């Protein structure tokens, strides 16, 4: 049988052993003997079976690996295995499927090769790579134009964190003067991210409506969005706690005094976000790899 590449699968030589089997009747007397054939496959030659695998099958397996990788080393170990795996792992089809955890690069390990890898993934159309590299370029490398362009590319593909990050840039006027703030654009981006399920964007939109910040004031609607954000974050916290078998009674506590929630307009307020308007407090959810990188970069 030939593969798509024209290679032949290794042939198997069959050895036939003649075995004489004696049979007895029910009374125990010997009956006529017959011969039974036993087949035992013996692989001929020392050919590499991996080289015989079709290219499409290998690329499909690597795509599954990149989409389910839990850390960068899961994928890097494949790159250094052999030349064939290295060439297939860097195919655009494989890189476009990479998960966000594959880009969880520590700030201390940042290098030109890591930059090139993220760039290749972004060029392949990976929205997580576009967002991560955009955040790094915008905030860490001070390349505002390129970073905002990459985040916008991810936002066009309905990437909620990218939409929310662009909203923060519009609220704060990052990369320009205070006159460059566009509150209406920030609210519109926040609304889009909230529609896609981004909890922080939903909460920020609630505060904007409640305070009349960049939008006509609507206290009732803003309060409703805040309650929705708190409920969604509570559900996410309980779900993650049940998966990791963490007791919720140790962190889901009630305080008689509401804990103010830090927003983009008041970032220095203490407290944890969950149900902050009602005095409850839980650990913050797991941060995106891009946010972890920024924290390590500016904290070092």
pLDDT category at 16 given cuts 50, 70, 90 is: very low
pLDDT category at 25 given cuts 50, 70, 90 is: very low
pLDDT category at 7 given cuts 50, 70, 90 is: low
pTM over 0.75: no
Has residue 20 got a pLDDT over 80? Answer: no
Has residue 47 got a pLDDT over 80? Answer: no
pLDDT category at 21 given cuts 50, 70, 90 is: very low
Has residue 159 got a pLDDT over 90? Answer: yes
Has residue 26 got a pLDDT over 60? Answer: no
Average pLDDT score over residue span 275-293 = 72
Average pLDDT score over residue span 178-195 = 90
Structure-model confidence comparison of residues 150 and 41, the more confident one: 150
Q: What is the pLDDT of residues 241-265, one digit of tens each?
A: 665 555 555 555 545 444 454 455 5
Answer positive or negative: Cα dihedral of 245, 251, 252, 253.
Answer: positive
183-198 exposure pattern, b = at least 16 Cβ within 10 A, e = fewer: eeebbbbbbbbbeeeb
Average pLDDT score over residue span 65-83 = 89
Structure tokens at 198: 């981004």
Has residue 5 got a pLDDT over 80? Answer: no
Average pLDDT score over residue span 105-129 = 94
Has residue 128 got a pLDDT over 80? Answer: yes
Q: Find tokens 């690996």 and name the residue.
A: 65
Q: What is the pLDDT of residues 48-69, one digit of tens each?
A: 788 888 989 999 999 999 999 9
pLDDT of residue 238: 77
Query: Among residues 55, 45, 51, 57, which one has the least CA distance to residue 11?
Result: 45
Q: For the chain, what is the mean pLDDT?
A: 79
Structure-model confidence comparison of residues 276 and 52, the more confident one: 52
Has residue 199 got a pLDDT over 60? Answer: yes
pLDDT of residue 183: 92
Lowest-confidence range among 10-19, 80-89, 171-180, 281-290? 10-19
pLDDT of residue 280: 58
C-beta of residue 83 within 8 angstroms of C-beta of residue 68: no
Structure tokens at 85: 């795996």
Query: Which residue pairs, CB below 8 angstroms and at least 24 apart, start in 232-238?
Result: 232/197, 232/199, 232/202, 233/199, 233/273, 233/274, 233/275, 233/282, 233/285, 234/274, 234/275, 234/280, 234/282, 236/199, 236/285, 237/274, 237/282, 237/283, 237/285
- First CA to last CA distance, the chain: 59
pLDDT of residue 49: 82
Average pLDDT score over residue span 133-148 = 94
Has residue 151 got a pLDDT over 90? Answer: yes
Coil/strand/helix, residue 13: strand
Structure tokens at 152: 């916008």
C-alpha to C-alpha distance for 170 and 182, rounded to whole angstroms: 5
Lowest-confidence range among 11-25, 84-98, 100-114, 205-219? 11-25
């Amino acid at each position: 049988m030939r593969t798509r590449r024209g290679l032949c699968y290794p042939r198997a030589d069959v050895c036939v052993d003649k075995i004489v089997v004696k049979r007895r009747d029910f009374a125990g007397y010997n009956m006529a003997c017959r011969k039974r054939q036993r087949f035992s496959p013996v692989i001929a030659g020392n050919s590499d079976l991996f080289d015989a695998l079709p290219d499409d099958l290998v690329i499909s397996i690597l795509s599954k690996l990149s989409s389910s990788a839990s850390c960068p080393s899961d994928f890097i170990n494949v790159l250094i295995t052999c030349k064939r795996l290295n060439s297939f792992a860097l195919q655009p089809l494989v890189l476009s499927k990479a998960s966000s955890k594959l880009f969880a690069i520590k700030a201390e390990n940042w290098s030109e090769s890591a930059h090139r890898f993220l760039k290749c993934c972004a060029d392949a159309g990976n929205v997580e790579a576009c967002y991560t590299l955009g955040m790094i370029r915008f905030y860490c490398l001070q390349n505002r134009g390129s970073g905002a362009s990459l985040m916008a590319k991810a936002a066009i593909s309905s990437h909620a964190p990218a939409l929310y990050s662009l909203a923060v840039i519009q609220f704060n006027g990052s990369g320009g003067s205070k006159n460059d703030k566009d509150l209406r654009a920030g609210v519109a981006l926040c609304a889009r991210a909230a529609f896609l399920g981004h909890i922080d964007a939903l909460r920020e939109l609630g505060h904007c409506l409640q305070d009349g910040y960049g939008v006509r004031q609507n206290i009732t609607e803003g309060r409703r969005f805040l309650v929705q954000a708190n409920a969604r974050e509570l559900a996410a916290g309980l779900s993650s706690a049940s998966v990791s078998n963490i007791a919720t009674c140790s962190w889901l506590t009630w305080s008689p005094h509401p804990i103010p929630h830090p927003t983009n307009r008041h970032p220095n307020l203490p407290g944890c976000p969950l149900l902050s308007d009602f005095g409850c407090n839980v650990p913050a959810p797991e941060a995106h790899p891009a946010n972890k990188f920024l924290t390590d970069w500016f904290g070092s």
